[in-house]
C-alpha cells in the first residue's frame, strides 16, 4: 500500500505555516504537527502498517522504543503492526531516561521510532538509554524526515543503521541570527508549548 504522507499532513492540517522555534534551536516557516494526523487511530494504523511493511522486509525487530511524547502514538501503532512490544523513554530534568520499570534484555533488537526525524537528536538519546541496558539498536523509523537524515552532516544517526520513513519534508531552517522572519519583526513560537499549537 503506497501512501502519500504530504497529502495526509495537508489533509489533517498538520503542516503548519508561521514562525517556529524548532527543538534544534533553529527557526522555520513550517512545522509538522504529527499529533493532528495521529488523532485519528485509523490514519495512525494505516501509516504504521505502511512503515511496518518497509521494515519487515529489511530487519528483525523484538521491540519498538520511542522517545516521549512525540514518538508515543506512532511507536505504539508501529509495534502493533510489527507484532512486537512497545516501550518508551522520557525526559526527567532534561535527561532522557527509560523509567516505569521497562526492561531490556541483553541483545534485544530494538527499533527507535519517532514521529518526525530532524537531526535524530532525541532518537539517539533514546538509543543510548537502550544500549546502556544491553539492548541492540537495529534501526530507526519515523513517519517522515526533514531532509537532514541520513545524508547531511547535521544528522546524528549512525550511518551503519537503516532509517525507515514514508516521506521527506524538506524545509528551509535558519539560525536565529540569520532568520528572515525574525528580521521582518516577528517572534518565533515553540510548537507544542503552553498556549501554542
Ligand atoms: Zn526567526
What is the number of other CB atoms lying within 10 angstroms of the CB of residue 176?
Answer: 11
Helix (H) or strand (E) holding 142: strand 136-145
Which residues fall within 8 angstroms of residue 169, CB to CB, at 6 or more apart? 6, 9, 15, 30, 32, 116, 144, 145, 146, 147
> What is the pLDDT tens value at each position of the chain, 197 positions in all?
568 999 999 999 999 999 999 877 889 999 999 999 999 999 999 999 999 999 999 999 999 999 999 999 999 999 999 999 999 999 999 999 999 999 999 999 999 999 999 889 999 999 999 999 999 999 999 999 988 898 999 899 999 999 999 999 988 889 999 999 999 999 999 986 544 44
| Ligand 1: centre distance to CA 17 (Å) | 13
Cell numbers 526533514: residue = 146
Helix (H) or strand (E) holding 161: none
| Ligand 1: centre distance to CA 54 (Å) | 36
Domains and CATH numbers, the chain: 5-183 (3.40.50.2020)
Q: What is the pTM of this model?
A: 0.90
| Ligand 1: centre distance to CA 196 (Å) | 16
Sheet harboring 95-98: ordered strands across? 95-98, 85-92, 63-67, 109-117, 136-145, 163-164
Amino acid at each position: 500500500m503506497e501512501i502519500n504522507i504530504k497529502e495526509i499532513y495537508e489533509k489533517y492540517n498538520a503542516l503548519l505555516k508561521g514562525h517556529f522555534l524548532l527543538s534544534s534551536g533553529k527557526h522555520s516557516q513550517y512545522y509538522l504537527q504529527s499529533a493532528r494526523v495521529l488523532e485519528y487511530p485509523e490514519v495512525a494504523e494505516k501509516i504504521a502498517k505502511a512503515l511496518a511493511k518497509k521494515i519487515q522486509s529489511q530487519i528483525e525487530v523484538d521491540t519498538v522504543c520511542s522517545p516521549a511524547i512525540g514518538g508515543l502514538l506512532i511507536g505504539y501503532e508501529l509495534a502493533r503492526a510489527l507484532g512486537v512490544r512497545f516501550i518508551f523513554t522520557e525526559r526527567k530534568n532534561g535527561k532522557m531516561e527509560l523509567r516505569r520499570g521497562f526492561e531490556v534484555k541483553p541483545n534485544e533488537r530494538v527499533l527507535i521510532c519517532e514521529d518526525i526525524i530532524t537531526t535524530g537528536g532525541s532518537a539517539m538519546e533514546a538509543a543510548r538509554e537502550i544500549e546502556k541496558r544491553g539492548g541492540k539498536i537495529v534501526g530507526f523509523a519515523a513517519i517522515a524526515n526533514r531532509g537532514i537524515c541520513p545524508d547531511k552532516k547535521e544528522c546524528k544517526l549512525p550511518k551503519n543503521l537503516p532509517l525507515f520513513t514514508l516521506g521527506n519534508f524538506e524545509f528551509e531552517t535558519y539560525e536565529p541570527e540569520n532568520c528572515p522572519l525574525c528580521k521582518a519583526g516577528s517572534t518565533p513560537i515553540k510548537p507544542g508549548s503552553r498556549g501554542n499549537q
